[in-house]
């Protein structure tokens, strides 16, 4: 069978990946090793973290379950991975001079995926990592003699201040270099005051600094053959390396996990709006194909590729939550706290009331019981974290965007059909074939396996626990209804009820 053009392109290639220890980065390295057999080497920019040095982090990464298929099918490929000490947050990427020379002499493709994705990150940290970090990687790329493609991983929400987003780079909310100067010159208190003005109409420092990074890539890449890929909300794998694979409990995955466990009962959002999800393997395939396209076509300007699903296979928040509840009940967690079920509201006042009744009050009661049993109270902390997550994410759950995808569709048309090649690089129009029901089932099962660490053989016990929680849920609902009726009776219906006495006074003499 003829080799796929993307696999063929990476034959003999030396690839540098930043952010390789992150969710997208791991999946990207796995796909390169498994589906590009001619690959020469993969360099990972890795920094020491929490007392763990680069060599230990390298060994830990290669033991990760994401590489299980590689270990089974082509274990020798793991020997192509080389980690070098580096940090996008530090001048010169913190590279040793021998490592810098080796990278500049050998690397042919760079994938820049390192970033902070926290919505509430300070401007100083976000600008340093997302914007200045991109500038530092570009400076390294300018010294690479054999570089054929630099692919910058951005986000579809880098232009969250626009309802309709084309495949082009828009002016950022502030000049990236001016923001960098402010971050260097201003003390923290003054920078916090200036942050709102510097991010403009953007909802947070994450989207603002990613917009600035795009501007740097588009306007100041200095002849580097560059492209930008903008995924929307990245979620569990659709097909590869296994359906439902994930390893990151942050973002929407953390919310889905708590919905499945029954700890999240109410969400601030509009059930009618489209939630734009894109599986991580779709993103990875797009990144690899964009590298191929950039190197082979050498466009005169930086091309942007919106990697989204909303225009091809839309799913609403309401439909998504219904599927999550259905599959969370069929595949329950052994750590369910309550019977899964939730509702949305667009009213912040109603959400605050329901959050108090359905999140904070039960969490307080459970923590009292845990304290009495000698266990550490954790539920109130979880409720506070979810409150913070809801506050930071409500901008996105109460809006929807239209993302154009002509460039990605044209790229898909230039490649063989996914059904025509082994190890196909499916993406773009193939997203229209996603069965959301099956996908959410895999997603819930993936959370159970990879986030909560629960083996499949624990399902019978978890289902028995869920049946008990269901009866408890019904009993609590019945008691709540009885209490509500009692309040109505006392307030409105009894002969001596306050409302009846008031109406009697207001009536005719």
DSSP one-letter string for 71-115: HHH-GGGGGGEEEEE--TTSGGGG--HHHHHHHHHH--EEEE---
Cβ atoms of residues 317 and 344 within 8 Å = yes
**What phi and psi, each to the nearest 5 degrees, are found at residue 303?**
-90, 145
Range scoring the smallest mean pLDDT among 119-123, 287-291, 310-314? 310-314
DSSP, residue by residue, 285-347: HHHHHHHHHHHHH--SS-EEEEE-STTTS--BHHHHHHHHHHHHHHS--TT--S----EEES-
Sort 505 into a burial class: Cβ within 10 Å, 0-12 / 13-18 / 19+. exposed
Closest-CA residue to 284 (of 467, 424, 127): 424
| pLDDT for res 499 | 62
Query: pLDDT for 6-21, tens place per residue?
Result: 999 999 999 999 999 9
Region 303-310 average pLDDT: 94
Q: At residue 409, does pLDDT exceed 70? A: yes
| Residue 465 DSSP class | H
| pLDDT for res 493 | 59
Q: At residue 423, does pLDDT exceed 70? A: no
% of the chain surpassing 90 pLDDT: 72
Closest-CA residue to 8 (of 360, 289, 264, 205): 289
DSSP, residue by residue, 233-294: EEES-SSSSSTT-----SHHHHHHHHHHHT---EEES-TTSBP-EEEHHHHHHHHHHHHHHH
d(CA 229, CA 154): 6
d(CA 29, CA 34): 9
Query: pLDDT for 124-149, tens place per residue?
Result: 999 999 999 999 999 999 999 999 99
Query: pLDDT for 429-454, tens place per residue?
Result: 578 889 999 999 999 999 999 999 99
**What phi and psi, each to the nearest 5 degrees, are found at residue 235?**
-130, -170
Beta strand 402-403 pairing with 226-231: unpaired
Is residue 476 very low, low, confident or very high in pLDDT (cuts 50, 70, 90)? confident
Q: What is the mean pLDDT of the chain?
A: 91
Alpha-helical (H) ranges within 16-108 are: 23-35, 54-62, 68-73, 97-106
Is residue 280 very low, low, confident or very high in pLDDT (cuts 50, 70, 90)? very high
d(CA 229, CA 334): 38
| Residue 2 DSSP class | P
| CA-CA-CA-CA torsion sign (197, 181, 117, 16) | positive
Cβ atoms of residues 245 and 237 within 8 Å = yes
Q: Which residue has the tokens 């090793």?
A: 33
How many Cβ atoms from other residues are within 10 Å of residue 175's Cβ? Answer: 14
Per the structure block, which two tokens stand in for 252?
């929407």
Residue 231 host element (H or E): strand 226-231
Cβ atoms of residues 344 and 457 within 8 Å = no
Task: Identify whether 241 is preceded by a cis peptide bond (ω within 30 of 0).
Answer: yes
| pLDDT for res 4 | 85
Q: At residue 161, does pLDDT exceed 70? A: yes
Give the angle 494-496-499 at the CA atoms, nearest 5°.
Answer: 80
Query: Which residues lie below 8 Å from residue 168, measured CB to CB, with a gap of 6+?
Result: 304
Q: At residue 508, does pLDDT exceed 80? A: no
Residue 355 to residues 336, 345, 351, 469, Cα–Cα distance (Å) = 19, 11, 6, 20
User: How many distinct helices (H) and strands (E) make up the chain?
Assistant: 20, 13
| pLDDT for res 153 | 98
How many Cβ atoms from other residues are within 10 Å of residue 447's Cβ? Answer: 27
Range scoring the smallest mean pLDDT among 149-158, 418-427, 435-444? 418-427
Query: pLDDT for 330-354, tens place per residue?
Result: 999 999 989 999 899 999 999 999 9
% of the chain surpassing 70 pLDDT: 93
Q: At residue 422, does pLDDT exceed 50? A: no
d(CA 285, CA 105): 26
Q: Is 21 helix (H, G, I), strand (E, B) or coil?
A: coil
How many alpha carbons fall within 13 Å on the CB side of residue 169?
Answer: 22
Query: Which residues lie below 8 Å from residue 101, measured CB to CB, with a gap of 6+?
Result: none
Cβ atoms of residues 268 and 309 within 8 Å = no
CA-CA-CA-CA dihedral for 210, 215, 218, 224, to nearest 10: -70
The whole model's pTM is what? 0.93
Q: At residue 305, does pLDDT exceed 60? A: yes
Query: pLDDT for 217-273, tens place per residue?
Result: 999 887 899 999 999 999 999 999 999 999 888 889 999 999 999 999 999 999 999
| pLDDT for res 421 | 47
């Amino acid at each position: 069978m003829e080799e796929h053009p993307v696999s063929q392109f990476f034959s003999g290639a030396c690839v540098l990946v930043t952010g390789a220890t992150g969710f997208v980065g791991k999946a990207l390295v796995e796909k390169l090793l498994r589906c590009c057999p001619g690959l020469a080497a993969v360099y990972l920019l890795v920094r020491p973290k929490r007392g763990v040095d680069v060599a230990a982090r390298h060994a830990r990464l290669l033991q990760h379950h994401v590489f299980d298929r590689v270990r089974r099918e082509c274990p020798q490929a793991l020997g192509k991975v080389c980690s070098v000490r580096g940090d996008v947050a530090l001048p010169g990427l913190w590279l040793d001079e021998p490592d810098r020379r080796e990278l500049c002499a050998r690397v042919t493709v760079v994938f820049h995926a390192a970033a902070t994705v926290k919505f509430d990150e300070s401007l100083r940290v976000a600008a340093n990592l997302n914007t200045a970090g991109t500038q530092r990687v570009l400076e390294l790329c300018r010294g690479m003699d054999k570089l054929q493609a630099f692919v910058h991983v951005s986000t579809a929400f880098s232009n969250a201040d626009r309802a309709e987003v084309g495949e082009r780079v828009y002016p950022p909310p502030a000049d990236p270099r001016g923001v960098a100067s402010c971050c260097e010159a201003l003390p923290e208190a003054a920078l916090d005051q200036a942050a709102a003005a510097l991010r403009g109409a953007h909802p947070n420092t994450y989207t603002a600094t990613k917009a600035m990074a795009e501007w740097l890539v588009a306007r100041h890449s200095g002849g580097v053959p560059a492209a930008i890929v903008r995924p929307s909300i990245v979620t569990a794998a659709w097909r590869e390396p296994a359906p439902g694979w994930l390893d990151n409990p942050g973002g929407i995955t953390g919310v889905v996990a708590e919905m499945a466990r029954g700890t999240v009962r109410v969400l601030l959002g509009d059930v009618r709006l489209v939630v734009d999800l894109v599986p991580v393997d779709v993103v990875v395939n797009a990144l690899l194909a964009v590298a191929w396209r950039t190197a082979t076509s050498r466009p005169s300007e930086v091309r942007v590729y919106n990697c989204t699903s909303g225009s091809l296979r839309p799913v609403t928040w309401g439909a998504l939550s219904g599927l999550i509840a259905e599959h969370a009940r069929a595949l329950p967690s052994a750590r369910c706290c309550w019977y899964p079920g939730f509702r949305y509201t667009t009213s912040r006042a109603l959400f605050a009331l329901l959050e108090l009744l359905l999140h904070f009050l039960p969490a307080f009661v459970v923590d009292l019981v845990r304290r009495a049993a000698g266990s550490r109270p954790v539920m109130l902390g979880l409720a506070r974290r979810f409150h913070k997550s809801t506050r930071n994410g409500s901008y996105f759950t109460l809006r929807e965007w239209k993302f154009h995808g002509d460039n990605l569709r044209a790229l898909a048309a230039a490649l063989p059909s996914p059904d025509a090649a082994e190890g196909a690089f499916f993406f773009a129009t193939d997203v229209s074939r996603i069965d959301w029901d099956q996908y959410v089932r895999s997603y819930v099962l993936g959370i159970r396996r990879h986030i909560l660490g629960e083996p499949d053989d624990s399902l019978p016990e978890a289902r028995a626990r869920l049946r008990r929680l269901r009866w408890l849920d019904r009993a609590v609902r019945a008691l709540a209804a009885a209490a509500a009726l009692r309040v109505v009776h006392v307030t409105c219906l009894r002969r001596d009820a306050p409302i009846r006495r008031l109406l009697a006074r207001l009536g005719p003499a």
